[in-house]
Amino acid sequence: GDSVTQMEGPVTLSEEAFLTINCTYTATGYPSLFWYVQYPGEGLQLLLKATKADDKGSNKGFEATYRKETTSFHLEKGSVQVSDSAVYFCALPPNQGAQKLVFGQGTRLTINP
């Protein structure tokens, strides 16, 4: 079945470092791809999305490009802040028309001042 694989965490960086969180997927067709973020004690927030191949989603300094040739949707940020500390989830609908999301296992990010 369709699935999402994220780089294992936890990831610890210093403030202003460059961030990459890898995400690869297997899917039927070309589904929309999402990154969600979960801050401590909260639910999930949609961080960014891309709806077709070569689309770049961006928000709050984060970016991710939908690469169908490598089936990847890596999350990047040029200069992280302490406030970016959270758990990040890559997700997709498992197939065309499926009204649900399949999530990666999540990557816990900690930014030290």
Partner 1 sequence: KAGVTQTPRYLIKTRGQQVTLSCSPISGHRSVSWYQQTPGQGLQFLFEYFSETQRNKGNFPGRFSGRQFSNSRSEMNVSTLELGDSALYLCASSLGDSSYGYTFGSGTRLTVV
Residues that bind partner 1 (CB under 8 A): 31-32, 34, 36, 42-46, 49, 51, 89, 93, 98-106
Question: What 3-state class would DSSP assign to 63?
Answer: strand
Residue number with CB closer to partner 1 (35 or 80): 35
Considering the complex, what minimum distance in angstroms separates the CB of residue 69 from partner 1?
21
Considering the complex, what minimum distance in angstroms separates the CB of residue 97 from partner 1?
8
Q: What share of the chain is helix, strand, coil (3-state, %, to 5)?
A: 5, 50, 50
Peptide bond between residue 113 and the one before it cis (omega within 30 degrees of 0): no
